[in-house]
Amino acid sequence: MNRYLYTQFYRNKAYIIALLFLFMAGMMAIYTGKKFLDRNEDIISKSGAFQKESIERNTKFHKDDLGLVLYYIKFNLMNETPRLAALNIGMRDLNPSIQGVTIRNLEEQRYNSDFYNPANAAVGNFDFSFVIVFLFPLVIVAFCYNLISEEEERGTWKLLSVQSGNLQKLLDYKMLIRLCAVTAVYFLLMIIALIWIKIPLDLYYTAFVFSGWLYILFWFALSRWIISFRKSSAQNALILLIVWVSINFIIPMSSNILIQKIYPVHESLKAVMEQREGYHNKWDEAKRPTMEKFYKAYPQYRNFTVEENDTFTWTWYYAMQHMGDLESAKSAELYTEKMQKRNQAAICLGYLLPNLHTQLTESHLAKTDMNNQLQYASSLKKFHEDKRLFFYPLIFSGKNAESINWAQQTIQVFSLSEHLKWAQLLLPYLFFIALFIILSQNKYKKLC
């Protein structure tokens, strides 16, 4: 009987086509991720060359005016992009993995990014996580929705009841065959991605693999419960598709609207506007109040004085630039705080929705999530401050460009390393898988 069920499954051309569809979709997603990494690496390499060229050009033509040299030169901070990011591009499609800033005001610069086709930005990238979350469940639904109803509709259910000593075991074996087939495609794709993209075989990759596989198990457990009610094939398919649409679109979109309403974010634009107004207004204001605020923030520079009748000094100019950032600091902090709350709300919702939990978990493992972007933004602020505090004394004391060892001014890397929280990662899956198995088990006992 077991061999017959195995042969019956693999002789069904529709099932083989569905598995090939999954495989081809996965291969296209892996290719998309590989191209993303290649493009990212190309941008980073060109950024390094551009920074070096910019330093050489500006120090050559403005070597006696360090303030003017540093007005133009951008220093780059790279957000480390792990190879695993090819499988979950996450927020890296809209937020740059490397950003250059001058030592002038920061708030206006930190929101600069590459331009993208708006249609592509709205749809998102076709990465491997998309295939796992959206396409694998559809194939699982197609494989499982009629495991019982098909036999009843054909009139062979009573015959099976007579021939089989244990109908539950028979049906579970049919589902196990389908689980093995889908799992084989999944692991094959993960192995291809591992070799092709050269992903390190570490705990992050292992957790990524387990996350996707447990999500697959969740859908099999859910399908097992739905078909145990012994509805018609059409009803089973409809119910499973409604669940798929609900947890992938309706609930997340409704929750997103609610989260946006609870935590409205206008502070990023407000911070930029406050920074610009704070900076531009200083041209028409007395220099002394600006300098006093600057000295209060950095008392170590009080010996670099600026007279009210001075026409222009770099000391006053860079102090004025920094005042724009200080005047927008509150809005910038509120923006970060609200984005953290939004992210936390999404994580909490993910504990109730395995699909969302999968997306958030895999983006976290690939370091392409919101938390990574917020940490990178914080690091960029620190990076910007370090550059300012290094160059301020040199500019204010009238040093020239030749007084600096520019070879030391290379691209710096931000790297975020976090311990994996296995319980937080696995428990939401295990809870729902166990729940649906237990619920369906009670129904299966009545099949005979």
Do 332 and 265 form a contact (C-beta atoms < 8 A)? no
Computed over its alpha carbons, how large is the radius of gyration of the chain? Answer: 29
Q: Phi and psi of 94, rounded to 5°?
A: -105, -25
| pTM > 0.95 | no
Q: Which residues of 300-319 are buried (b: 16+ CB within 10 A; e: fewer)?
A: ebeebebeeeeeebbbbbbb
Query: What pLDDT is recorded for position 325?
Result: 83
Q: Phi and psi of 78, rounded to 5°?
A: -95, 135
Question: Could you tell me the CA-to-CA distances from 256 to 34, 263, 342 in Å, in that order?
Answer: 30, 10, 9
Structural domain containing residue 397: 1-448
Distance CA 170, CA 30 (A): 36
Do 433 and 214 form a contact (C-beta atoms < 8 A)? yes
The residue written with tokens 């005979």 in the block is 448
Per-residue pLDDT of the chain in tens (448 residues, 90 and over written 9): 577 778 888 889 999 999 999 999 999 999 999 999 999 999 999 998 999 999 999 999 888 899 999 999 999 999 999 999 999 998 888 788 899 999 998 877 876 554 444 434 334 578 999 999 999 999 999 999 998 887 777 766 666 666 666 777 888 888 999 999 999 999 999 999 999 999 999 999 999 999 999 999 999 999 999 999 989 999 999 999 999 999 999 999 999 899 988 988 775 666 666 666 666 666 777 888 888 989 999 999 999 988 888 888 999 999 988 888 888 888 888 888 989 999 999 999 999 999 999 999 999 999 999 999 999 999 999 999 999 999 999 999 999 999 999 999 999 999 988 889 999 999 999 999 999 999 998 887 765 5
Query: What pLDDT is recorded for position 119?
Result: 39
Do 269 and 108 form a contact (C-beta atoms < 8 A)? no
Query: What pLDDT is recorded for position 1?
Result: 57
Query: What pLDDT is recorded for position 394?
Result: 95
In the three-class reduction of DSSP (H, G, I as helix; E, B as strand; rest coil), residue 91 is classed as helix
Number of structural domains in the chain = 1
